[in-house]
């Protein structure tokens, strides 16, 4: 199938990533990608940019090296009520909002608490993607996640970094497989993302794609072939 964009990457502004947005865009162009999402870690993660970075994003051109740029944030889910670490003033300026759970920002709770947190985050109109829901350190109920993601028109991510050999998240293959099973049942769409922190990883969806093929997951439920379809999710 067509795979024309990567919507979850980090530039040097995220503090533990290594390339500028210009280098990232050039890398995406070299791969023939039509669009690139740069989603810096939101302020609760140590070492990333300040909230002001996000409210000033309007100064950055939305096309570089012939690649359409979507500038957004990877928001941290802060509690079991699904609160995130940017307010409406910044959120409304983002092209894309991914909500994820990260160890320094959220203490792992019970499956019930974490599922509730993810679902509350999905209710936030500025959240359009749930990032790396495969992370076994934050194990959620994939049946409920897939059902609600469909209802709220939110994409669940197949995170290539999680699936890489030596990936530090836990049981990602097994969890992503379970998630896909329920997504297929409910017709919930997924997005393949690299979560690149260095330009050489931009556009790398090899392991996500391997999982799609291995499970026989319907390709029409993977949005990476159509920018129009992606945009339909971003205009919630
Ligand atoms: Zn993340
Ligand atoms: Zn990320």
Tokens of 4: 């024309």
Residue range 5-17, pLDDT digits in tens: 999 999 999 999 9
Ligand 1: centre distance to CA 100 (Å): 6
pTM: 0.98
The confidence score (pLDDT) of residue 235 equals 83
User: How does residue 168 score in pLDDT terms, banded at 50, 70 and 90?
Assistant: confident
Ligand 1: centre distance to CA 195 (Å): 7
Non-local CB neighbours of 159 within 8 Å, separated by 6+ positions: 8, 131, 132, 134, 169, 172, 176, 193, 195, 208
- Answer whether residue 117 shows pLDDT above 80: yes
Tokens of 5: 């964009």
The confidence score (pLDDT) of residue 167 equals 84
Which residue carries 């947190």 as its tokens? Answer: 117
- Answer whether residue 145 shows pLDDT above 90: yes
What whole-number distance in Å separates Cα of residue 138 and Cα of residue 167? 15
Ligand 2: centre distance to CA 85 (Å): 15
The confidence score (pLDDT) of residue 115 equals 98
What whole-number distance in Å separates Cα of residue 203 and Cα of residue 160? 9
The confidence score (pLDDT) of residue 1 equals 86
Tokens of 11: 């530039």
Q: In terms of Cα–Cα distance, which of 34, 26, 27, 35 is closest to 7?
A: 35
What whole-number distance in Å separates Cα of residue 47 and Cα of residue 229? 34
The Cα angle at residue 122 between residues 38 and 208, in degrees rounded to 5: 55
The confidence score (pLDDT) of residue 203 equals 98
Tokens of 15: 């503090």
Instruction: Tell me what percent of the residues of the chain surpass a pLDDT of 90.
Output: 97
28-55 CB burial, b ≥16 within 10 A, e <16: bbeeebebbbbbbbbbbbeebbeeebbb
User: How does residue 19 score in pLDDT terms, banded at 50, 70 and 90?
Assistant: very high
Residue range 32-81, pLDDT digits in tens: 999 999 999 999 999 999 999 999 999 999 999 999 999 999 999 999 99
Ligand 2: centre distance to CA 74 (Å): 6
Ligand 1: centre distance to CA 191 (Å): 14
Q: In terms of Cα–Cα distance, which of 107, 79, 110, 111 is closest to 178?
A: 111
The confidence score (pLDDT) of residue 166 equals 86
What whole-number distance in Å separates Cα of residue 27 and Cα of residue 200? 7
What whole-number distance in Å separates Cα of residue 185 and Cα of residue 85? 32
- Residues 26 and 33 sit within 8 Å (Cβ to Cβ): no
The confidence score (pLDDT) of residue 207 equals 98
- Answer whether residue 236 shows pLDDT above 80: no
Give me the residues paired with residue 199 across strands.
Answer: none
The confidence score (pLDDT) of residue 69 equals 98
- Answer whether residue 92 shows pLDDT above 90: yes
Ligand 1: centre distance to CA 49 (Å): 15
Q: Which ligand is nearest to the CA of 16?
A: 2
Output the average pLDDT for the chain.
Answer: 97
Ligand 2: centre distance to CA 66 (Å): 24
């Amino acid at each position: 199938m067509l795979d024309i964009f990567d919507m979850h990457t980090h530039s040097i502004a995220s503090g533990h990533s290594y390339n500028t947005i210009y280098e990232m865009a050039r890398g995406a162009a070299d791969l023939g990608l039509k669009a690139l999402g740069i989603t810096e870690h939101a302020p609760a993660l140590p070492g990333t940019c300040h909230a002001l970075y996000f409210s000033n994003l309007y100064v950055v051109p939305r096309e570089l090296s012939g690649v359409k740029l979507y500038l957004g944030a990877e928001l941290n889910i802060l509690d079991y009520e699904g609160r995130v670490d940017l307010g409406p003033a910044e959120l409304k300026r983002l092209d894309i909002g991914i909500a994820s759970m990260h160890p320094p920002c959220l203490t792992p709770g019970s499956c019930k608490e974490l599922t509730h947190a993810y679902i509350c985050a999905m209710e936030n109109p500025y959240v359009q993607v749930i990032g790396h829901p495969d992370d076994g350190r934050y194990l959620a109920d994939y049946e409920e996640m897939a059902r609600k993601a469909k209802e709220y028109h939110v994409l669940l991510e197949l995170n290539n970094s999680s699936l890489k050999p030596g990936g530090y998240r836990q049981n990602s293959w097994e969890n992503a497989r379970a998630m896909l099973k329920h997504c297929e049942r409910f017709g919930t769409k997924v997005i393949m993302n690299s979560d690149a922190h260095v330009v050489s990883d931009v556009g790398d969806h090899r392991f996500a794609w391997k999982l799609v093929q291995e499970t026989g997951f319907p390709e029409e439920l993977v949005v990476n072939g159509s920018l129009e379809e992606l945009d339909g999710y971003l205009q919630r």
